Amino acid sequence: MHTLYPHPKITPLHLQRKAIVYLRQSSERQVQHHTESQRLQYDLAARARALGFQQVDVIDTDLGRSAAIGAARREGFERFIAAVAVGEVGLVLSLEASRLSRTDQDWCRLLELCPLFDTLIADADSVYDVRTLDDQLVLGIKATMSVAELKVLHQRLQQGTEAKARRGELVRLLPPGYVRNASGQIVKDPDQRVQQAIDQVFRLFRHPRSIRQTFLWFQRRGLELPVNKREQANTRLVWHVPTQPFIGSILHHPCYAGAYVWGQRHTELVVVKGKVIKRTSPWQRPEDCRVFIPDHHEGDIDWETFEENQRIMHNNATKTDPDASVGAVRAGQSAAGRVTALWPLRAQDARELLGQKRHLAALSLPGHMRCGRDLLCHVRWRWRGSAFDPSVAPCYLAPGITGELGGDCGAASA
Side-chain-side CA neighbours of residue 164 (13 Å)? 10
Catalytic, 334? Answer: no
Spot the catalytic one: 26, 94, 146, 386: 26
- State how far the Cα of 335 lies from the Cα of 330, in Å rounded to an integer: 6
SS (H, E, C) 173-235: CCCCCEEECCCCCEEECCCHHHHHHHHHHHHHHCCCCCHHHHHHHHHHHCCCEEEEEEECCEE
- State how far the Cα of 15 lies from the Cα of 119, in Å rounded to an integer: 11
- State how far the Cα of 241 lies from the Cα of 244, in Å rounded to an integer: 10
- State how far the Cα of 14 lies from the Cα of 64, in Å rounded to an integer: 30
For 225, list phi and psi in degrees, rounded to 5.
-125, 155
Most distant pair of Cα atoms in the chain: their distance: 121
Structure-derived torsion over alpha carbons of residues 79, 85, 86, 91, reported in degrees to the nearest 10: 80
Catalytic residues: 26
